[in-house]
Amino acid sequence: MTINTNNSIIPPFLQKGDSVEIVAPAKFVSKSEVDVSVKILESWGFSVKLKSAIFNKHNVFSGTILERKTLLQEALDDTNIKAVFFARGGYGTIQVLDQVDFTTFKKHPKWLIGFSDITTLLSHIQCVYNIASIHGPMIYNFSNVDQKSITTLFKLLSGERVVITVPSFAKNRLGSGAGKLIGGNLSILCSLLGSESLCLEGDDFILFIEDIDEYLYHIERMFYTLDRAGVLKKIKGLIVGEMTELKDNEDSFGKTYQKIIFDIVKKYNYPVCFNFPIGHGFQNTPVIIGSHITLEVDSDFVKMNYL
């Protein structure tokens, strides 16, 4: 697969027999939650490296900050490891991010795969080092997502071209756009504003977002934050993924999340699609952060195509 990435660095694609490692930089994970996913990775022909230290537990985390940082650092520095699969999200990646030395990783980039709290790391390596990564199912989620998402993940890792086409939604704004794909978890992206880990300079961008367990008014506040920071006026298209298990106050906020978002971005002239199958739901379609894509939002379908 040849991808026009506006000069993003694409790590080497994987082949059968390649070694991959599972790392847990955030919330703790149990062995039973990992075992099934290890078998799935092995069934795709990969040799899985799994250090016992990922099952450490310190409060809600997978070990102390130093323990988690050390495991991540070792995985990034090991040139025999061709991809790092993150065990789960939760919270904690931000605690280790600034302690990691990316010197070897820059010289020998590899695929990093995760979402949710892992957005912290994926956005950082794209903005600071221009290295592409995959926003997609994690080890914890392998048994909770549909087979199509898992299959798409391994297709991307092997270099196969994947065109994503999904049904359109009545509240979409039609149109087309092209640019470098950036994004991830909405709450995490807002937490990165003002840092080097979130940047929109020098390229056209397509932004995708998803989130879980947020109040509706939080969604509005975060979109106002993105808008006031200048993010929403710089993009060429907006992909709204799944907004899962949203909450309302006893006195209803009075808007759906689609209405909240559209009311803020309606002043801009770019395509907007809702209900795209990315996020914490049963279908979590993997996408390559840093890839150059086209987004077509039609009355019948939405198509995302790698260039």
Per the prediction, the chain carries an average pLDDT of: 95
Binning the chain into helix, strand and coil, the percentages to the nearest 5 are 35, 25, 40
Q: Calculate mean pLDDT across residues 225-251.
A: 96
Domains and CATH numbers, the chain: 19-157 (3.40.50.10740), 164-306 (3.50.30.60)
**Per-residue pLDDT at 85 exceeds 50:** yes
**Cα–Cα distances in angstroms (integers) from residue 228 to residues 88, 221, 243, 268, 277, in the given order:** 31, 10, 22, 13, 27
Q: Calculate mean pLDDT across residues 260-282.
A: 97
Q: From the CB of residue 64, how many other CB atoms can be counted at a distance below 10 Å?
A: 14
pLDDT digits (tens, 9 = 90+) for 100-146: 999 999 999 999 999 999 999 999 999 999 999 999 999 999 989 99
pLDDT digits (tens, 9 = 90+) for 124-133: 999 999 999 9
**Per-residue pLDDT at 4 exceeds 70:** no
* pTM, to two decimals: 0.96
pLDDT level of residue 296 (50, 70, 90 thresholds): very high
Alpha helices in the chain (DSSP H): 31-43, 65-77, 93-97, 103-107, 119-129, 147-157, 186-192, 216-228, 231-234, 257-265
pLDDT level of residue 259 (50, 70, 90 thresholds): very high
Determine phi and psi for 238, rounding to 5 degrees.
-125, 125
**What pLDDT is stored for residue 203 in this prediction?**
74
**Per-residue pLDDT at 17 exceeds 50:** yes
pLDDT level of residue 1 (50, 70, 90 thresholds): very low
**Per-residue pLDDT at 6 exceeds 70:** no
